[in-house]
Amino acid sequence: MDDSKEKIQVEVKTTTAETLRQTAQKNGLSKGEVIDQLITQKLDNDPWNAAMLATANFKVLTSKLSQEDFKQAALYAVMDLVRILQNSAATTEYEKKMGQFLEIAAKKAAEYKEQEENA
């Protein structure tokens, strides 16, 4: 992978520039790193890198949400991961434990959602 860098200057809408600044600041990234992550929407062969890219993208995509809406979005993401794992064969002990962890997290997410709806 080529890690060389190039300085560029672009013209964007004022709202885009502000969103880029806020997203970078909120996530502890440079504006260039945010752009790199948005552009690098590809599959990664390394599981850790793929997970980190997905997490970073999730942070960028939810950066305009309120704290409560962010929590709800995160819980929905966890529930979706549980669904994905349940639909795949959990053959290794690690996968089984991860599935158990995500099942517990999904139950907590459902409880949280129910509390929110009853509030």
pLDDT digits (tens, 9 = 90+) for 14-72: 998 998 998 888 888 899 888 887 776 555 677 777 787 788 888 888 988 999 999 88
Chain-centre distance of CA 107, in angstroms?
Answer: 20
pLDDT digits (tens, 9 = 90+) for 96-109: 777 778 788 888 88
Contacts by residues 13-22 (CB-CB < 8 Å, ≥ 24 positions apart):
19/63, 19/64, 22/63
- For residues 80 and 110, what is the distance between their CA atoms, to the nearest angstrom? 12
Q: What residue ranges do the domains of the chain occupy? A: 65-118
- Neighbouring CB atoms inside 10 A of 7's CB total 5
